[in-house]
Amino acid sequence: MLKTSLTLVALAISSQSFADDAINKKLTAEEMEHVVVSGSRVFESIDEVPASVTIISQKQIEEHLKVNPELQSLLAQMVPGLAPDTGSSSNTGQSLRGRAPLVMIDGVPQSTPLRNGSLGVKTLDPSAIARIEVIKGATSVYGNGASGGIINYITKQATSDGQPEGEISLSSRFSAVKLEESAGARISAAINGRADKVSYLFTASYEENGVQRDAEGDILGLQYGLSDAVTENYFTKLGYDFDDEKQLQFSYNYFSSQQKTDLGDVVGNLNDGEKTYAIHVPKELQKKGKPQGPDGNENITLKYTDYALFTNTQMTLDLYMQDIENVFFFSTNLANPDEGYEGGQSIIRSEKKGARATFNTLVDFDNVEATFIYGLDALNDVTSQPLVDGRVWVPEMDMESLAGFLQTKWVINNDLVIKAGVRQESIDLTVDDYETLKLCRSETQCSVPLSVKGDTIDYDATTYNVGVKYNLLEAFSPFANYSQGSDISDIGRLLRAATVNDIGLIQTEASIIDNYEIGFTSQFDDLRFEFAAYRSTSEFGTTNSFNEVTGVYEPVRAPQEIWGYETLVDYKINPTLKLVATYSYVEGKNTEDDIYLGSRQISPPKGTANLNWQPNDELSLTVSYLYVGSRKRFEPNTDGDYVGDQGPISSYNLFNLSGRYNFSDNWQAFMGVENLFNNDYYPARAQSYTYGGYNIKGLGTTVTLGATYSF
Which strand (E) or helix (H) includes residue 78? helix 71-78
Residue 6 has pLDDT above 80, yes or no: no
Residue 679 has pLDDT above 50, yes or no: yes
Q: What pLDDT sits at residue 177?
A: 98
Q: What pLDDT sits at residue 613?
A: 96
Q: What angle do CA 606, 545, 450 make, to 5 degrees?
A: 140
Q: What pLDDT sits at residue 552?
A: 52
- Place 556 in a pLDDT band, splitting at 50, 70 and 90: low
Which among 498, 542, 397, 401 has a CA at the least distance from the CA of 459?
A: 401
DSSP-derived secondary structure for 524-537: ETTEEEEEEEEEEE
Residue 462 has pLDDT above 70, yes or no: yes
Q: CA torsion sign, 100 to 114 to 600 to 106?
A: negative
Which among 429, 293, 428 has a CA at the least distance from the CA of 348?
A: 293
- Place 540 in a pLDDT band, splitting at 50, 70 and 90: confident
Distance CA 440, CA 446 (A): 4
Maximal CA-CA distance, the chain: 78
Average pLDDT estimate for 478-484:
96
Residue 653 has pLDDT above 90, yes or no: yes
> Residue 623 half-sphere exposure, CB side, CA atoms within 13 Å?
8
Q: What pLDDT sits at residue 33?
A: 63
Residue 16 has pLDDT above 50, yes or no: no
- pLDDT tens-digit readout, 487-536: 887 888 889 988 888 888 877 777 889 999 999 999 999 999 999 999 99
- Place 39 in a pLDDT band, splitting at 50, 70 and 90: low
Name the residue ranges covered by the structural domains of the chain. Answer: 4-710
Q: What pLDDT sits at residue 546?
A: 57
3-state secondary structure 88-116: CCCCCCCCECCECEEEEECCEECCCHHHC
Q: What pLDDT sits at residue 581?
A: 97
Which among 80, 54, 57, 77 has a CA at the least distance from the CA of 67?
A: 77
Task: Quote the distance between the C-alpha of residue 50 and its chain's center.
Answer: 22
Q: Is 635 exposed, middle or buried (0-12, 13-18, 19+ CB in 10 A)?
A: exposed
36 near 131, Cβ under 8 Å? no
User: Any residues with CB less than 8 A from the CB of 608 and at least 6 apart, and which?
Assistant: 77, 78, 80, 581, 582, 583, 624, 625, 626, 627
Start-to-end Cα distance in the chain:
55
Residue 22 has pLDDT above 50, yes or no: no
Residue 664 has pLDDT above 90, yes or no: yes
Distance CA 465, CA 146 (A): 14
- pLDDT tens-digit readout, 379-391: 999 999 999 999 9
Residue 576 has pLDDT above 60, yes or no: yes
The count of other CB atoms within 10 Å of the CB of residue 97 is: 31
- Place 205 in a pLDDT band, splitting at 50, 70 and 90: very high
Residue 21 has pLDDT above 70, yes or no: no
Residue 18 has pLDDT above 80, yes or no: no
DSSP-derived secondary structure for 106-152: TTEE-S-GGG--S--SSSS-GGGEEEEEEEES---TT-TT-SSEEEE
- pLDDT tens-digit readout, 228-272: 999 999 999 999 999 999 999 999 999 999 999 999 999 998 888
386 near 395, Cβ under 8 Å? no
Distance CA 97, CA 236 (A): 33
- Place 13 in a pLDDT band, splitting at 50, 70 and 90: very low
Residue 665 has pLDDT above 70, yes or no: yes
Q: Is 39 left (phi over 0), alpha (psi -120 to 50) or beta?
A: alpha
**CA torsion angle for 88, 93, 94, 96 (degrees, to 10)?**
170
- pLDDT tens-digit readout, 281-321: 998 888 888 999 999 999 999 999 999 998 899 999 999 99
- Place 120 in a pLDDT band, splitting at 50, 70 and 90: confident
User: Any residues with CB less than 8 A from the CB of 365 and at least 6 apart, and which?
Assistant: none
Q: What pLDDT sits at residue 29?
A: 55
Average pLDDT estimate for 85-112:
89
Sheet holding 108-109, edge to edge: 53-56, 129-136, 149-155, 101-105, 108-109
The count of other CB atoms within 10 Å of the CB of residue 364 is: 10
Average pLDDT estimate for 11-32:
44
**CA torsion angle for 488, 490, 496, 499 (degrees, to 10)?**
-50
Q: What pLDDT sits at residue 17?
A: 37
3-state secondary structure 305-339: EEEEEECCEEEEEEEEEEEEEEECCCEHHHEEHHH
**Region of poorest pLDDT, from 175-184, 270-279, 680-689:** 270-279
Residue 28 has pLDDT above 70, yes or no: no
Mean pLDDT of all residues in the chain?
90
Distance CA 472, CA 223 (A): 52
Q: State percent of the chain over pLDDT 70.
A: 93
- pLDDT tens-digit readout, 337-366: 999 999 999 999 999 999 999 999 999 988
288 phi/psi in degrees, rounded to 5:
-85, 165
- The single-letter DSSP state of residue 365 is -
- pLDDT tens-digit readout, 368-422: 999 999 999 999 999 999 999 999 999 999 999 999 999 999 999 999 999 999 9
Residue 184 has pLDDT above 80, yes or no: yes
199 or 443, higher pLDDT: 199
Distance CA 706, CA 171 (A): 4
- The single-letter DSSP state of residue 242 is S
Per CATH, is 4-710 categorized as 3.30.70.580? no
**Region of poorest pLDDT, from 32-36, 141-145, 254-258, 508-512:** 32-36
Q: What pLDDT sits at residue 545?
A: 61
- Place 543 in a pLDDT band, splitting at 50, 70 and 90: low
